[in-house]
Structures are given as structure tokens and as C-alpha cells.
């Protein structure tokens, strides 16, 4: 399709061929050609971007999928955005299906909120809008100084459950921790299925690792408040007449499954599957409780390290993820991994944004808790 007719261009910022597959599917659905550009790594590992056509006055969409080399992908995106900005592009919209560093969105002890830093870098590079999918925390949208459209993959995963899982009416939706219960409840209500939650000492909620400003501090083996600890290790006397109460230490109960999974198909839902240790442990518990088949449904299949081997050797029967992250190598290593294509909704989002149409259609029947 001619650029003069469309008024926008679509580029891919990835240097590896495997990461451009999603961009090709999106452009095929839109009926446009992928913009001409070259993204490559020089011999000293610096990233170079060359835009091979005029983008002056155009609305540009940059599709960036995140491979295992996350930091290189970020630099590719930043340099591509800045190159388009200095080439006088009118609007630069990033299509980032999986937003990297999204798990680092809370303050850690003596750490930083890396996700906010990345949001600032993208704005500085020239991005004016972002399309993403299933952010790890919806509040991440507040880190940006420009609009963010956080699309949902759940309609595609629910469709997979209805069409590909025989006797899914005998299934139960499972949250592998209380923190994932809201997402699981959303699936259960839409599919008219029951809900189960795994709770106990084998689970470690991400919020437990947060800085003391967001969760109770660890208890010390002291009676009362003995003073403030200085960097030198010495104690500073407390204010006269003040004795702070001691917070009781957390103690998780033995691992339990809240809900009946006996003789049922167990479907564990989450947004990211990366280190699969928690999923493997959950599958073993569900098998012990009588579940006869176990599915894992997740939007972003990072599947790092030995994840394919661990899945293959576990009690998990099928892992279903979308193509927001390239994982063809992992599928070759583990035939249990299946892929759902979400290029349709990404292409529709691009079309609607360019035409100035409402995005409400893509968020129909989606509530604040979804």
C-alpha cells in the first residue's frame, strides 16, 4: 500500500530475524509494507540504525519484540525512535507487546524503580504513545508522560480454552498464589467455571520482597525500640519517652489448595511465565489433589534458562502462551508449548490510532480488575 494513501509507516526495530515475525504478521493484516531500515550490531557491540526512506511528517509505528537479550532490544528501540525523531517524523508510537523490566516496578531495598527509568528514557528518545499488552502491574501506565494503551490477551486465551480443551466445562481455574487470584477470578467468571487458589509456605509473593515502606519490616530480636542504627553500626538513642511497637513476623501456613480440583482439569493462569519453578511446584500439588490434566495459560512466554526441559519433565500437560515474545527455539525443545497469535488485536490498535477512532471496542467488557 502506498505511503501517501496510508499516511503512516510501520518499522521493526529488531536486529534478529526471529524477532521480526510478529512485525511481518501485523503489516500483513494492515496491508502495508514493513518500513525500510537496517538495525545491526557493529563489531564492538554498538547498535546502529539506518532508516532507508523519508519519514518527514509521517506517523510512525515501531514494533519491538523483546528477545532474551533484553538490553540490546531496548537500545535498538531507543536509537530507532531517536533516529525517526531527528528525521522529522510527526508522531512516533511504540508497539511493545511485552514491556521489559515490568517486574521492577516497585521499590526494593536500596534499589530503584527501573520500569520508571525506562519510561523516561522512551519519552526522551521521542516516543509519543505506546501500545503494549498485559502490563505486569496496570499502575505502570502512570510512569509515562504520554498515552499508554494496555491491551489484553485474555480473549484469545479464553477462546483457546473453549476451542482446544476438550470437556473444558469440567475445568477449574487456578491461581498459583493469592496475588494472582484477581486474574484467575476474571477467567473463571467469563468461562463460568470454579476457582481455586494455592496458598502456603511454598509460595513467595513478589510484594514480600518490597522495601519496608510498602510492607512490614522484619522483626528484630529485641524488646522495645533500642535506638536508630547509624551507618557506623552504632545505635543512636531514641527520642525521649518514645517506644515503637514491634511488628510480628510473618509465618505462612502449610501449603494448601483452597478449592476442589479432584477429578478436574486444572488451568493455571498468569501474565508471565519465565522461571517455571513455581508452576512446576503448583502442578505437582494439583496432581496430588486429584487434578487429571494441567494447563498453564500466560500472555508472555519468556521461558528462560532450563524452562523447556523443566516443563517437559513436569506434571504440566500443556503450556499456552501468545507470540508477544519469540519462543520458537523453546517450542522445538518442548512440544508441550503452544502459541496463540495476537497480531490481530495489535494491528487493529494501530489502525484505530492512526484513523483517530475510539479504542473502546478493544476494551469491551474489560473491568478495572482485569
pLDDT, tens only, 181-195: 999 999 999 999 999
What average pLDDT does range 247-271 have in this prediction? 89
Model confidence at 4, pLDDT cuts 50, 70, 90, reads very low
Q: Does residue 226 have a pLDDT over 70?
A: no
List C-alpha distances in Å: 280 to 115, 319, 326: 28, 11, 22
Model confidence at 242, pLDDT cuts 50, 70, 90, reads confident
CB environment 152-178: b (16+ within 10 A), e (fewer): bbbbbbbebbeeebeebeebbbbbbbe
Q: Does residue 227 have a pLDDT over 60?
A: no
Note the pLDDT of residue 245. 84
Q: Is the entire prediction scored with pTM above 0.75?
A: yes
Q: Does residue 222 have a pLDDT over 60?
A: no
Note the pLDDT of residue 203. 43
- Residues near 219 by beta carbon (within 8 Å), at least 6 away in sequence: 246, 247, 248, 249
Note the pLDDT of residue 230. 57
Handedness of CA 369, 129, 71, 30 (dihedral sign): positive
Q: Which residues in the chain belong to E strands, given as ranges?
A: 8-12, 37-41, 47-51, 59-63, 91-96, 129-133, 148-151, 171-175, 194-199, 228-229, 235-236, 256-258, 265-273, 293-301, 318-322, 337-340
Q: Does residue 217 have a pLDDT over 60?
A: no
CB 357 within 8 Å of CB 149: no
Note the pLDDT of residue 351. 96
Note the pLDDT of residue 219. 47
Q: Does residue 141 have a pLDDT over 80?
A: yes
Note the pLDDT of residue 238. 59
**Phi then psi dihedrals of residue 293, to 5 deg:** -150, 140
Note the pLDDT of residue 201. 66
Average pLDDT of the chain is: 88
d(CA 72, CA 52): 21
What average pLDDT does range 216-231 have in this prediction? 49
Q: Of 110-124, 235-249, 284-298, which range is least confident?
A: 235-249
Amino acid at each position: 500500500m502506498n505511503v501517501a494513501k496510508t499516511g503512516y509507516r510501520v518499522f521493526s526495530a529488531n536486529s534478529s530475524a526471529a524477532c521480526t515475525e510478529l512485525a511481518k504478521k501485523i503489516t500483513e493484516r494492515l496491508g502495508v509494507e514493513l518500513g525500510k531500515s537496517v538495525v545491526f550490531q557493529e563489531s564492538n557491540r554498538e547498535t546502529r540504525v539506518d532508516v532507508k526512506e523519508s519519514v518527514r511528517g509521517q506517523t510512525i509505528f515501531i514494533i519491538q519484540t523483546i528477545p532474551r537479550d533484553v538490553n540490546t532490544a531496548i537500545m535498538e528501540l531507543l536509537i530507532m525512535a531517536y533516529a525517526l525523531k531527528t528525521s522529522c517524523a510527526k508522531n512516533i508510537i511504540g508497539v511493545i507487546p511485552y514491556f521489559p523490566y515490568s517486574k521492577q516496578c516497585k521499590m526494593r531495598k536500596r534499589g530503584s524503580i527501573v520500569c520508571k527509568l525506562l519510561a523516561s528514557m522512551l519519552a526522551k528518545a521521542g516516543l509519543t504513545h505506546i501500545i503494549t499488552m498485559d502490563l505486569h502491574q496496570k499502575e505502570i501506565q502512570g510512569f509515562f508522560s504520554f498515552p499508554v494503551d494496555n491491551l489484553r490477551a485474555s480473549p484469545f486465551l479464553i477462546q483457546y480454552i473453549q476451542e482446544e480443551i476438550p470437556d473444558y466445562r469440567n475445568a477449574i481455574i487456578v491461581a498459583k498464589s493469592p496475588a494472582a487470584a484477581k486474574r484467575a477470578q476474571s477467567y473463571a467468571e467469563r468461562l463460568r467455571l470454579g476457582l481455586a487458589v494455592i496458598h502456603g509456605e511454598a509460595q513467595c509473593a513478589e510484594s514480600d520482597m518490597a522495601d519496608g515502606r510498602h510492607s512490614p519490616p522484619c522483626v528484630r530480636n529485641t524488646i522495645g525500640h533500642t535506638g536508630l542504627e547509624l551507618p557506623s553500626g552504632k545505635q543512636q538513642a531514641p527520642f525521649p519517652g518514645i517506644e515503637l511497637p514491634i511488628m510480628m513476623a510473618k509465618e505462612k501456613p502449610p501449603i494448601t489448595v483452597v478449592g476442589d480440583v479432584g477429578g478436574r482439569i486444572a488451568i493455571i493462569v498468569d501474565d508471565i511465565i519465565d522461571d517455571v519453578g513455581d508452576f512446576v511446584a503448583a502442578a505437582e500439588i494439583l496432581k496430588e489433589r486429584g487434578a487429571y490434566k494441567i494447563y498453564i495459560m500466560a500472555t508472555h512466554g519468556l521461558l528462560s534458562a532450563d524452562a523447556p526441559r523443566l516443563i517437559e519433565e513436569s506434571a504440566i500437560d500443556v503450556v499456552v502462551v501468545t507470540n508477544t515474545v519469540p519462543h520458537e527455539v523453546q517450542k522445538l525443545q518442548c512440544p508441550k508449548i503452544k502459541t496463540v497469535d495476537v497480531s490481530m488485536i495489535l494491528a487493529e490498535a494501530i489502525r484505530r490510532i492512526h484513523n483517530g477512532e475510539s479504542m473502546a471496542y478493544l476494551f469491551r467488557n474489560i473491568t478495572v480488575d482485569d
